[in-house]
Amino acid sequence: MSKSTTQALTPKADLDTHLARLRSIAREAMEAAYCPYSNLAVGAALLCGNGTIYRGCNVENASFGLTVCAERNAVFCAVAAGHLDFLAIAVVTSSADISRPCGACRQVIAEFSPKNAPITIISEAVGGDYVVETISQLLPDSFSLL
């Protein structure tokens, strides 16, 4: 359910110029969500350091533990394609309220976030309200073996 989108982005450039595009791609990804149990569609757009953007959507399963969140879907697809340098991720939900990534997604995002330049997370509700935070703000003192 993820697909890569290569954009003409300048890596490490002012992230503000990329926020609107990431939010738009995350909204598109949300349309592909498979969520017959929760009815909460989630889309994600992950910006890699080279400007590539990977999309992800949540995919639910009747065995709930097998469900995959949009954020992890996007990260895993990027890693499978050889990318490990991430700048930002936008997450959009079909909820009227802003929903931030779950704990599992926060831990996965933190794994790829350098301490000196934490990954930016944009969390957006269906109505367009959003917040911009870093993974360090959402998961301070994250667990790491590296």
Residue 65 belongs to some domain of the structure:
yes
Residue 145 belongs to some domain of the structure:
no
Residue 94 belongs to some domain of the structure:
yes
pLDDT for position 1: 42
Residue 144 belongs to some domain of the structure:
no
pLDDT for position 14: 63
pLDDT for position 114: 83
Residue 20 belongs to some domain of the structure:
yes
Q: Which residues contact 133 (CB under 8 A, 6 or more apart)?
A: 100, 120, 121, 123
Q: For the chain, what is the domain count?
A: 1
Q: How many angstroms separate the Cα of 45 from the Cα of each of 64, 140, 142, 143?
A: 23, 23, 22, 24
Backbone φ, ψ for residue 42 (5° rounding): -135, 135
Residue 133 belongs to some domain of the structure:
yes
pLDDT for position 127: 92
pLDDT for position 84: 95
**Length in residues, the chain:** 146
pTM strictly above 0.85 = yes
> Is the CB of residue 86 less than 8 Å from the CB of residue 113?
yes
Residue 40 belongs to some domain of the structure:
yes
Catalytic position from the list 71, 111, 124, 133:
71
Residue 143 belongs to some domain of the structure:
no
Strand 52-57 with 42-48, pairing: antiparallel
Distance CA 58, CA 69 (A): 4
Q: Is 71 annotated as catalytic?
A: yes
Mean pLDDT by 10 residues, the chain (146 residues): 41 69 97 98 96 97 96 98 96 97 96 89 95 94 80
Query: For position 9, which CATH number holds?
Result: 3.40.140.10
Q: Buried b vs exposed e over 91-113: b needs ≥16 C-beta within 10 Å?
A: bbbbeeebbbbeeebbbbbbbbb
Domain with 104 in it: 4-138
